Structure 1
């Protein structure tokens, strides 16, 4: 693969955006449904990758991907968006049950390790570490007061770690987490990370929850060892919010919008003139409108998707290709969104304890 191809890949961590990119209402190996809560305005989309066909179509591992979209997340809320926390908690609780992680079934509190991925020194990447700052760890209570303490008080056995990034520690995140899992023996891992989106409109207002783990740094092209059930030996759930969007994606979407405007505003005028010429040259042409409609449809392909993408690559080359963009108020957003995620984790785990 050429360097240019790597630099101008329009990346996204969201399964929903990968699904939107694939044409066709029915895709083999993919199941999708969506619903909306009218009272809260929260929209939930479930994308299930069922088999290898779905993996190939979306480029995502087999598993469940739940996307919560809430426009209210764009604004600061004194209650830290409790309605979103409760919705996320319910979805996370459902995933835990599907994997048999219930106190009733296990006869003891669920032992969970929460991992806050990201660089706390880089604000758009600090979501994971910020969530860990608000986490109410309880594992030390079990160690100090005995194994029945958490069960009697309805607490989960909850621990957390912020492993940092490789440039800081000299170690892969997966190496650190594997060591902790082997030593503390949790039943499950919840990974929290900042994601990359394809659409700027989804920054900070979309939360993805999955049961497939996570590939640290994949959204911005930094491929690291994955944190998955295959690598850790226990279920791994991932919670993420997109905080950055590639410059290529922004320009790509702009070209798409421009194309639609050209089709609607310019294309129609040109086509009307072409139709007049065609009618003058061939008076016997069928005038029922069907042939003119087909001609319009062909000529309205002013900029195809591939042509748009090639134009984006030429415009961005060579300086803007690897650039990522984040909202101007990212520091404030990370602060209050980290509370929203931590409260969702508390709500899900303390209720299942």
Structure 2
């Protein structure tokens, strides 16, 4: 996640990167803007805008906040989606529906309000002023299921359907246990499927696909090195309070940065377990709740004529 990449650099200003925060304790919004090559090099993220919405409302199933979260998602998408209301949008749900932590994308697609076919076959009933946009959706699966690069499938669909913009949903990997199922990242830089767990795949970006790509994700896994590193941080904090300043042990504890500790743990774990990732035991529920929130937020953004209260009725199949 971009916000984590920014945090790893430090608390001060980072050249080429703008960082803003707003909101309340129940709904926090952070914006990381990578402005140039200097910023790209500093945090390792492509030039563009990264929005992170953080809330415990999803994980705690707090219904009074769900509507606010969905509306916040819709607002941020609309800021990036600079196209007319009669322009087609293709929504893609990345991931493997057979693996729960990776099934977020397909789960969201099940709840997207698709309208392109209705508008095509009943054009006389379509009026853009009613706030309904032509929308189509697809879950292309993963390379291990289809034998085809997901990016190639998407390019084929884009070339045939010719949408004006693409929205891609995928599960993310986080370096913070607190963000699992409680954060939503929205960016205008596209996505590289599998990159969070060490799998290099064809990128789904404007440069490759040829149309604007908005990427939306929720972290569902955290790597084992992060858990070990967080534990080590707490141990080091306790040791630091007990040992005398100036000793060799004190220097060792205080001089190692969080990033250096993380790299050391990765080096220890890699020969034995590789890229080990961990997910919460309640992941089934987290995926369902996150899919519900993302789908409703996307539906509100793409169809401004629909009210939040009407969405559940519209999506009954």
- Fold-level similarity (TM above 0.5): yes
Instruction: Write the deviation string for residues 47-85 of structure 1: whole angstroms up to 9, x where unpaired.
Output: 000000111111111100000000122123457822111
Q: Is the 8 A contact 1:116 1:128 kept in 2?
A: yes
Give how far 1:153 is off: 3.7
1:89 aligns with 2:40: no
Note closer, same or farther for the CA distance 1:79–1:139 as it changes in structure 2 (3 Å cut).
farther
Q: Is the 8 A contact 1:85 1:343 kept in 2?
A: yes
1:237-316 equivalence runs, <5 A: 237-264=214-241, 266-267=242-243, 270-271=244-245, 299-302=250-253, 304-305=256-257, 308-309=261-262, 311-313=264-266, 315-316=268-269
1:333 aligns with 2:286: yes
Note closer, same or farther for the CA distance 1:217–1:251 as it changes in structure 2 (3 Å cut).
same
1:221 aligns with 2:172: no
Instruction: Write the deviation string for residues 160-197 of structure 1: whole angstroms up to 9, x where unpaired.
Output: 00000001101001100001111111010000000000
The match for 1:344 is 297
Q: Is the 8 A contact 2:240 2:250 kept in 1?
A: no
- Provide structure 1 residue ranges, at least 5 long, that are not aligned to the other structure: 1-13, 104-108, 272-294
Give how far 1:297 is off: 12
Q: How far apart are the structure 2 equivalents of 1:34 and 1:217?
A: 28
Q: Is the 8 A contact 1:141 1:150 kept in 2?
A: no
- Provide structure 2 residue ranges, at least 5 long, that are not aligned to the other structure: 307-317
1:1-353 equivalence runs, <5 A: 14-23=1-10, 25-37=12-24, 41-77=26-62, 81-96=66-81, 100-103=82-85, 109-146=86-123, 149-151=126-128, 153-264=130-241, 266-267=242-243, 270-271=244-245, 299-302=250-253, 304-305=256-257, 308-309=261-262, 311-313=264-266, 315-351=268-304
Q: State the structure with more CA Rg.
A: 1
Paired residue secondary structure (1:74): coil
Note closer, same or farther for the CA distance 1:79–1:26 as it changes in structure 2 (3 Å cut).
closer
Q: Is the 8 A contact 1:46 1:65 kept in 2?
A: yes
Q: Is the 8 A contact 1:150 1:156 kept in 2?
A: no
Note closer, same or farther for the CA distance 1:80–1:173 as it changes in structure 2 (3 Å cut).
farther
Higher mean C-alpha deviation, range 331-340 or range 118-127: 331-340
Q: How far apart are the structure 2 equivalents of 1:57 and 1:125?
A: 29
Q: Give me the TM-score of the superposition, normalised by structure 2.
A: 0.90
Note closer, same or farther for the CA distance 1:150–1:239 as it changes in structure 2 (3 Å cut).
farther
The match for 1:274 is none
Higher mean C-alpha deviation, range 71-80 or range 296-305: 296-305
Give how far 1:147 is off: 7.4
Q: Give me the TM-score of the superposition, normalised by structure 1.
A: 0.81
Instruction: Write the deviation string for residues 218-249 of structure 1: whole angstroms up to 9, x where unpaired.
Output: 00011101100001111000110000000011
Q: Is the 8 A contact 1:247 1:324 kept in 2?
A: yes
Q: Is the 8 A contact 1:138 1:156 kept in 2?
A: yes
Note closer, same or farther for the CA distance 1:243–1:146 as it changes in structure 2 (3 Å cut).
same
Q: Is the 8 A contact 1:80 1:337 kept in 2?
A: no
Note closer, same or farther for the CA distance 1:160–1:169 as it changes in structure 2 (3 Å cut).
same
Aligned residues, how many? Answer: 304
Q: How far apart are the structure 2 equivalents of 1:149 and 1:52?
A: 45
Q: How far apart are the structure 1 equivalents of 2:281 and 2:265?
A: 24
